[in-house]
Structure 1
Amino acid sequence: MASAVAQPLSRRVHFDAADFRVVEVDLAHDRLELHWRDAQGQPLASIDGLRHWGDGQGRELLFATNAGIYDRQFRPLGLYVEEGVALRPLNTARGSAGAGNFSIQPNGVFYVDARNHAGVVATSDWRERRIEARLATQSGPMLVVDGAINPAFDEQSDSLKWRSGVCARAPQQVVFAVSEAPVTFHAFARLFRDELGCRDALYLDGTLSRIYTKADGYTGAAAVMVKPYAGMFAVFVDRRATE
């Protein structure tokens, strides 16, 4: 008989007239990972690709979501660290908001460090903090900064998009969320601050964002992938643990 395996907590949250899929990863029990390419250097490209890659290693995918914004070559647009190795450098370029969401300031970095503690820090503070990251992804904009909604967001905005984001509510408590319908940046930021209790939160991406859990399947915007992901968060379990 298969033994029970603890999985990241997945739930639907109704907030401010919208629904969101929220997944909590407890780093004390679950090992959060980042994956972009396989051993041959080929992009995994999709959550299905990630799951099949894990299957080939005897690992079952319990949770996954896309990690952040990519460039025209489908590479992470900013800092990207897997297992302590920086595969893409910190991006400190400052463009106008019209240049894309990554350029809305402040943008930031989500990380899990060598002590297995997670956090979100503004890009401008990253180098000064000297964080020894086990994994990290840079994206933008930050949704919540030290308990305040990003002042670049207009509460009256009519720009509605699917949105995904992440925060560390505590050093070993990571919270991911994706909207189940288009919402504004301001509404999404309020979800993280007022409903999920995050003092710092980072936007990951929009239109193509999805969350997968073994328990609930897919939630998010895209029914069909039209562009590849450049980096995905994942929690796996060794299949032997379920036998």
Structure 2
Amino acid sequence: MKRPSLFGLAACAAIALSACGQEPAGEPVVRTEIGSGVAESDTKPAPAVDPSPSPTPTVASACRSATFEGATFTHCLADPAKHRIVTALGPAGGAPYRSFAKLAAARNADAPAVAFAMNGGMYDGEGKPIGYYVENGDRLEELNRAEGPGNFHMKPNGVFYGTGGTWRIRTADDFYANVSQRPQFGTQSGPMLVIGGKLHPKIAEDGPSKAIRNGVGIDSAGRAHFVISQGPISFGVLARYFRDELKTPNALFLDGNVSALWDPARGRMDSGARFGPMLVIEEKETR
């Protein structure tokens, strides 16, 4: 698929921060801008929830509800002592899954239990990642340091990656300069929300543009905090939640308006919007 200016979306202005995964023709995509608060089109106020999954009673939910500055979030905690993180895009040699339902149907019966999963990074019109992407140690897409429009190119963007129980978030330039060994998993998205304990310099305090958004941050103990808003919020509120409430020195925006969560323990599987890369947090086997 041809991707003019990487996405082929003229609506993504140079300072736009929003979900920049291009959807097929006929499916509108929301684009918003920091500072201006312009919202072009709103597809749906919140992800639909697939009613088919049943709660998993043997696995306690890793997610909880939280409030911050009047906004409500679902906060899911991945602990290296209890969980492993893998990326998932699609079957080997096949098209991307584009949904949790298809991912769930493709998982082997003897696969580890899923603690939760979230959509995990920017993608093109086919659902393929547009930045660095590693799955099971195989690099499917190289690091993207190009200039361009949209939130992915709001520098600095960043990479969430890890091997075993060691998980990190670095800016793309930091990753390029300091990471030489390929991790087991990795996904590039943008922009960074928190960088070294400071908010991204171009994120407004609380711009009028609102959307359902999700992100991930790593705390000083090495735990990964995955957050998805339960209603439309600004980038500023999301970034401050990571910095001030979760105390994560580094946090990365994953996406907006297509943001989705799968929490099997509570029978939640968001559906409606199609996305690309997924981050799957699996339960470690206990003996």
TM-score by length of 1: 0.86
Give the stretch that moved more between structures: 176-185 or 148-157. Answer: 148-157
Report whether the alignment pairs 1:121 with 2:177: no
The structure 2 residue matched to 1:180, chosen from 220, 230, 239, is 230
Give the stretch that moved more between structures: 60-69 or 201-210. Answer: 60-69
Between structures 1 and 2, the one with greater strand share: 1
Structure 1 residue 215 displacement after superposition: 2.1
How many positions carry a matched residue from both structures? Answer: 230
The alpha-carbon distance between structure 1 residues 172 and 6, as it changes in their structure 2 partners (threshold 3 A), is farther
Structure 1 residue 170 displacement after superposition: 3.6
Structure 1 residue 187 displacement after superposition: 0.7
Which residue number in structure 1 is paired with residue 135 of structure 2?
82
CA contact (8 A) 1:105 1:152 kept: no
Structure 1 residue 58 displacement after superposition: 5.0
- Percent identity between the two aligned chains: 32
The structure 1 residue matched to 2:264, chosen from 200, 214, 230, is 214
CA contact (8 A) 1:119 1:171 kept: no
CA contact (8 A) 2:76 2:225 kept: yes
The alpha-carbon distance between structure 1 residues 18 and 181, as it changes in their structure 2 partners (threshold 3 A), is same
The alpha-carbon distance between structure 1 residues 170 and 185, as it changes in their structure 2 partners (threshold 3 A), is same
Report whether the alignment pairs 1:18 with 2:71: yes
Q: Letter of the 2:261 partner, please give it.
A: I
SS in structure 2 of the partner of residue 112 of structure 1: strand
Give the stretch that moved more between structures: 79-88 or 48-57. Answer: 48-57
Match runs of 1:1-243 below 5 Å: 5=58, 7=60, 9-95=62-148, 99-113=149-163, 115-132=164-181, 133-170=183-220, 172-218=222-268, 224-227=271-274, 229-236=275-282
Supply the distance in 2 between the matched residues of 1:234 and 1:100 (Cα, whole angstroms).
26
Q: Letter of the 1:107 partner, please give it.
A: N
Q: Letter of the 1:225 partner, please give it.
A: G
Deviations 1:130-176 (A, max 9, x none): 25311110000000010011110111411111110001114641110
Structure 1 residue 203 displacement after superposition: 0.1
Q: Letter of the 1:232 partner, please give it.
A: M
Supply the distance in 2 between the matched residues of 1:131 and 1:66 (Cα, whole angstroms).
26
Give the stretch that moved more between structures: 122-131 or 12-21. Answer: 122-131
CA contact (8 A) 2:158 2:192 kept: yes
| Structure 1 unaligned regions, length at least 5 | none
Deviations 1:159-217 (A, max 9, x none): 11111000111464111000001111111000001111100000000001111112223
The alpha-carbon distance between structure 1 residues 182 and 59, as it changes in their structure 2 partners (threshold 3 A), is same
| Structure 2 unaligned regions, length at least 5 | 1-56
Structure 1 residue 56 displacement after superposition: 4.7
SS in structure 2 of the partner of residue 32 of structure 1: strand
Supply the distance in 2 between the matched residues of 1:234 and 1:159 (Cα, whole angstroms).
29
Deviations 1:110-149 (A, max 9, x none): 1113x53111100111121125311110000000010011
CA RMSD of superposed structures (Å): 2.3
The alpha-carbon distance between structure 1 residues 29 and 60, as it changes in their structure 2 partners (threshold 3 A), is closer
SS in structure 2 of the partner of residue 178 of structure 1: strand
CA contact (8 A) 1:8 1:25 kept: no
